[in-house]
Structure 1
Amino acid sequence: MDGIVIIGAGECGTRAAFGLREAGYSGSVTLVGAEPHLPYERPPLSKTVNGAVQMKLICAAAALKAGGIAYIEGVSASRLDTDAGTVTLSDGQMLRYQQLLLATGARPRRLTCPGAEHALDFRTHADAEAIFSNVAPGRSVAIVGAGLIGMELASVLRGKDVVVSVIEAAPKPLGRAVPGRFAEKLHARHAAEGVRFHLNRGVAAVGNDRVILIDGSVIHADLIVSAIGVLPDIALAEASGLAIGNGILTDTCLRTSAPNVFAAGDCAAVAQPGGRHIRFESWRNARTQAETAARNMAGATETFRALPWFWSDQYDLGLQVAGLPQPSHQSVLRSAAEGELEFYLDDGRLVAAAGLGIGNRLARDIKLAEMLIAAGVSPEPAELADPGVNLKTLLKSARAA
């Protein structure tokens, strides 16, 4: 049998390939990527330079060669036989594996209305090229979806003096992922920047230059982008008989229901206490799970335990959320020189934190909050609310106790 095959050459799959070498694995490593490029990072796709979409490579070809990593680009996996230990690629190649990592990531959720094919996705480098090559000052773009992807794209386009309309079926933007207080602040900032919102309205149809809403109103635009979220890419796993749910189900060590098959990144739903499975969607999570999976495939038995975390840049504002804030949590606000922090307590224990401020200036506070959460502390709400109480001091006190 051949060594380890990794399906998916995004952040997770690529980091896992190098993680195997760092863990001392000396067998063959084959990395399979569906796109015809070297592995690249997705977050910089919206940060154009002189109007050009940037491709920030995760690694150079020389690094793959130096690591002894065989990279097969421009093909996808079409069939997985876990009994035979083989995976068949879209070009007809069959790879045998001793162990397999599924790092297939996520795919854009598609509009289902008539004319949906007229709406562009915003996920890959090719998607970004299609969008940004067709925008210019004074042109108009309609974005369907006011989640993080849609709102981040809106902020970038407004910075290019593009007329932006955002359509959202929910009554307010950013309703699912972002704490309400910060969602309202970001909504207000977008409105002040001139973004036109059409909330609480579904899409009935899409045309070449228009979006027709269910109330009959029409929004004209030179370009239409669908940003209604993503779905875990589980088709290969499902067809092969692996256990799936909201993702490919894994145990705490990222093993799937098949022997010698692991899953990590946006496609993986990891077992939690109480029998739940959670997908952790973020750039940092992709790296952390990649490292854990790599070490476990190399012989370790590490449990993946990481705090959910994500960030979003919109205009000059930076949002970070650590943990899973819930409406039932006690909320504690803290003002900061460059923004605002919000802490979330569950029966007195700190379980989540969020911050919205200028650029990345609250990152240190969020990092300290993460460390406090990991320490399992139950701080006094008055101390969390007081800007004069240093979070690092609280952490030192917790560790001393």
Structure 2
Amino acid sequence: MVDRGMVIVGAGEAGVRAAFALREQAYQGSVTLIGEEPHLPYERPPLSKIGPDASSGSVRAIAADDRFAEAGITFRRGLRVTALQPSEHHLALEGGKFLPYERLLLATGAAPRQLPGVPSSKRIHVLRTVEHAEAIRCHMQPGQHVAILGGGFIGLELAAMGRKLGTEITLIEVQPRVLMRGVPEVLALKLQARHVAEGVVLICGVPVEGIRSDENAVTIALGDGRTIEADALVVGIGAQPNTALASDARLTIENGIAVDQHLRTSDPDIFAAGDCCSFPVHAYAGRRVRLESWRNAQDQGAVAAANMLGHDEVFKNVPWFWSDQYDLTLQVAGLADGAVQEIVRPLTAEAEILFHLGADGQLLAASGLGPGGSVARDIRLAEMLIGKGAKPDPATLADPATKLKSLL
């Protein structure tokens, strides 16, 4: 008999976690992990915080070669899957070869969203890979001016790192403020103010009319008549899920590869996890979302592995993400859409948490901003309350003297 085994396409957080989780659950068949990049799997969050030594040798590997060997995981790096053929239970690989599978996990991640009309130039960059980080880092130095288009997490984290390295930074966000998606206005405005205080030139609410590049500079024409000239431009306007394999194989696509509460796709032997998939969130009555989050990818990788082995584990985790900018950390647990009441809980003079309640008093989300880990413990407790569907007393939430743990 042919050992079709378990195959994982995508060697990021979700794929690597799933591969090791299969072994942790005593699976004895073959496990094959396929990654397109030539490197060992590496952590992507540090790429937006690129330091002076940014290079392919300085990134943090998720797992080294010897760990894959010890676990009996075949890691095939630098290999592209060209097609998925569910009826045959195999993958087509570049070079004309095929790889059979018993069960398959798609952890193909996401790719930077492209801005139409942007010319190809060595001075215009996106950020997703270590090579992207290396290219951006060449411009992040004193005497250089880097423009950043996009006021999301990537753009703001790069702006903070650029200022730390002495780079002149202009950040352009076409929306009225930064972090329009998923972050309360009061916290977003505090981060805006911090960036301005650190010397970032921040332009919000102005459209971009055109972008030109030559050997010496990038020129950005704004809708209000201004022109920004910079040594480099980083475009950070979000990411698109990598769904081509799934779409060509006629799997259901809905803002990513659509999976059920068990992370199973429309094919019962194919699962998906991480940035590439949309899934029903247990805590919000099955509302479908797609998350680009380090922890979500890890957690889904583990659950997908269990269900590839025949378990029926429901993915119940509450959405959570964080961002480090300067000495400040932003953490958000849950989804605040639909909240009708906002409760402020001051922790210190520099740290606070906002609780977001629904019309029935249910805690939907919590957002915190403060130095270092000042908000981490309370956000973690709020995450647990959200997962339980709690309806805490607003006065209790607002009182920093009342420990959130007591509400559990």
Question: TM-score range, shorter-chain basis?
Answer: over 0.9
What is aligned with 2:40? 38
Contact in 2 for aligned 1:321/1:353 (Cα 8 Å)? yes
How do 1:179-258 and structure 2 match up within 5 A?
A: 179-208=184-213, 209=217, 210-258=219-267
1:57 to 2:61 alignment: yes
Contact in 2 for aligned 1:116/1:206 (Cα 8 Å)? no
Look up the equivalent residue of 1:222 and give its one-letter code: D
Which deviates more, 163-172 or 87-96?
Answer: 87-96
Structure 1 length-normalised TM: 0.95
Look up the equivalent residue of 1:350 and give its one-letter code: L
Look up the equivalent residue of 1:387 and give its one-letter code: P
What is aligned with 2:394? 381
SS in 2 for 1:101: strand
Q: Distance in 2 between matches of 1:52 and 1:232?
A: 26
Q: Distance in 2 between matches of 1:296 and 1:114?
A: 42
1:106 to 2:110 alignment: yes
CA drift of 1:319 comes to: 0.4
What is aligned with 2:312? 301
* Identity, % of aligned positions: 49
Q: Distance in 2 between matches of 1:306 and 1:323?
A: 10
Contact in 1 for aligned 2:296/2:320 (Cα 8 Å)? yes
Q: Distance in 2 between matches of 1:116 and 1:276?
A: 38
Unpaired runs of at least 5, structure 2: none
1:339 to 2:351 alignment: yes
Q: Distance in 1 between matches of 2:347 and 2:268?
A: 50
SS in 2 for 1:322: strand
Structure 2 length-normalised TM: 0.93
* Cα RMSD, aligned residues only: 1.6
Look up the equivalent residue of 1:95 and give its one-letter code: L
Contact in 2 for aligned 1:142/1:221 (Cα 8 Å)? yes
CA drift of 1:179 comes to: 1.3
Contact in 2 for aligned 1:113/1:203 (Cα 8 Å)? no
What is aligned with 1:399? none
Q: Distance in 2 between matches of 1:372 and 1:344?
A: 12
1:70 to 2:74 alignment: yes
Q: Distance in 2 between matches of 1:319 and 1:275?
A: 26
How do 1:45-194 and structure 2 match up within 5 A?
A: 45-53=47-55, 54-115=58-119, 117=121, 119-194=124-199
CA drift of 1:49 comes to: 4.4
Unpaired runs of at least 5, structure 1: 396-401
CA drift of 1:275 comes to: 6.4
1:23 to 2:36 alignment: no
Q: Distance in 1 between matches of 2:291 and 2:179?
A: 18
Contact in 2 for aligned 1:114/1:204 (Cα 8 Å)? no
CA drift of 1:384 comes to: 0.7
Q: Distance in 1 between matches of 2:244 and 2:314?
A: 26
Give per-residue Cα distances to partners, 1:238-281, cap 9 Å, x unaligned: 11111001000111111111130000111111135766421122
- Report the number of matched residues: 395
1:286 to 2:297 alignment: yes
Q: Distance in 2 between matches of 1:296 and 1:383?
A: 39
Look up the equivalent residue of 1:73 and give its one-letter code: R
